[in-house]
Amino acid sequence: MTPIGFEAHDHADCVRTTLEQAEKVCKARRLRLTPIRRRALEILLAEHRALGAYDLLAVLAAEGLGTAPPVAYRALDFLTSAGFAHKIEGLNAYIACAHLGADHTPAFLICTACKSVAEAETQTTKGRLAEAARDSGFHIERTVIEALGLCPACQDAA
Amino acid sequence: MTPIGFEAHDHADCVRTTLEQAEKVCKARRLRLTPIRRRALEILLAEHRALGAYDLLAVLAAEGLGTAPPVAYRALDFLTSAGFAHKIEGLNAYIACAHLGADHTPAFLICTACKSVAEAETQTTKGRLAEAARDSGFHIERTVIEALGLCPACQDAA
DNA sequence: CTCCATTATGTTATGTTATAACGCATGTAG
DNA sequence: CTACATGCGTTATAACATAACATAATGGAG
Ligand SMILES: [Zn+2]
Ligand SMILES: [Zn+2]
Ligand SMILES: [Zn+2]
Ligand SMILES: [Zn+2]
């Protein structure tokens, strides 16, 4: 479970396989990966960073795929519902899933210096949060787990 | 480390001791708990729930303590910087700290049915997130840990 | 193939959350 | 008193998100 994002890696491959996975999942679950949705996923995938909805919209608009906010928000709704993207609550921004296909509980490491984001996985049933929940009888449906700090590269720079 | 919020407890005492703690901390750190800031903290403390900035503003406005958004945001900035309140990123809302004075990393259990919020504590150096960070050499400065789900009472109701 | 229901998209408007910028007031140190 | 820092009043605007309704494309059922 290495967090993807900070390490050097074959990113072209990363993009390709994620898109393939997304298509496979859509086929299996009868979801429609329309041109707008597919392009939105590609845009998010371009970098391991979170993009604001309006940043995404700007790109889509420049490509003639729609100009009004609902274009972006609908695409993001689809992608997040399908598990192809996640919302980073701490940034009000969105990022492509780095473990598409794997059933996972995402956790994010967000570099405040270079803005890159790595997605790790945690196990919902373990960890301190789950423990606190069990202790008090709380039933967890969804978790938001985000760490803000400095990635290895930015620590070296400082 | 029991999460405060779901259990029945002497809430009047809860409010009183938190305000006392806040005053003590302000004295020690030479922070100024002005009338607006103090009242904002009281308003947040009234219930173990998160309040939107504009909800807080509405109360302050009704009491003649200011009408424009900066009034609320400045008070919230002060309270969160001082550690007297926390922002719930998943709700864009703010809640009084339930462990004021204790040096802690907050984690929240948020009931999606009744909207109440319990604050638990986690240890920054343990847990899966810290583990993932260590693995990749990431330096954590702040964490956002929030669980959405059903509190014990709302589970029983369903 | 045609019709129908469903899903997706276009469009306008608005709601919600948060900050910038500037000036005045007040408290404190030299 | 003066200089500086901090808090507050006020106006305006930026940034994020959704409501509501019209039109179009898609994909089955018959
Ligand atoms: Zn990559
Ligand atoms: Zn993911
Ligand atoms: Zn209480
Ligand atoms: Zn706290």
pTM: 0.93
Mean pLDDT, to the nearest integer, of A21-34? 96
Residue B75 approaches strand D within 7 Å at CB = yes
In sequence order, what are the residues at sequence separation of 6 or more whose Cβ sits closer than 8 angstroms to the Cβ of residue B25?
A: B31, B82, B83, B84, B100, B101
Looking at residue A126, its pLDDT comes to 66
Nucleotides of strand D lying closer than 7 angstroms to a protein CB: 6-13, 15-20, 26-28
Cα B2 to ligand 2 centre (Å): 30
Mean pLDDT, to the nearest integer, of A36-51? 97
Contact A142 B129 (CB under 8 A): no
Does the beta carbon of B75 lie under 8 angstroms from any beta carbon of chain A?
Answer: no
Looking at residue B8, its pLDDT comes to 87
In sequence order, what are the residues at sequence separation of 6 or more whose Cβ sits closer than 8 angstroms to the Cβ of residue B111?
A: A138, B6, B117, B149, B150, B151, B154
Closest CA in chain B for residue A119: B132
Question: With the CA atoms of A52, A56, A59 and A65 taken in that order, what torsion angle do they form, in degrees rounded to the nearest 10?
Answer: -150
Looking at residue B2, its pLDDT comes to 55
Contact B138 A7 (CB under 8 A): no
| B4 compared with A75, residue with greater pLDDT | A75
Three-point CA angle B127, B132, B136, nearest 5°: 150
Q: Would you list the domain boundaries of chain A?
A: 11-157
CATH 1.10.10.10 at A11-157, yes or no: yes
Strands (E), B55-116: 85-88, 93-96, 105-111
Per-residue model confidence as pLDDT tens digits over B86-112: 999 999 999 999 999 888 899 999 998
Listed by number, the residues of chain B in 79-98 with a beta carbon closer than 8 Å to a beta carbon of chain A are: 89-90
Mean pLDDT, to the nearest integer, of A92-117? 92
Cα A34 to ligand 1 centre (Å): 23
Mean pLDDT, to the nearest integer, of A75-99? 97
The residue type of B135 is: D
Q: How far apart are CA A62 and CA B53, in angstroms?
A: 35
Cα A57 from chain centre: 17
Residue with tokens 């930015």: A154
B2: which DSSP letter?
P
Cα A116 to ligand 4 centre (Å): 28
Contact A136 B150 (CB under 8 A): no
Residue A69 approaches strand D within 7 Å at CB = yes
Per-residue model confidence as pLDDT tens digits over B14-70: 999 999 999 999 999 999 999 999 999 999 999 999 999 999 999 999 999 999 999
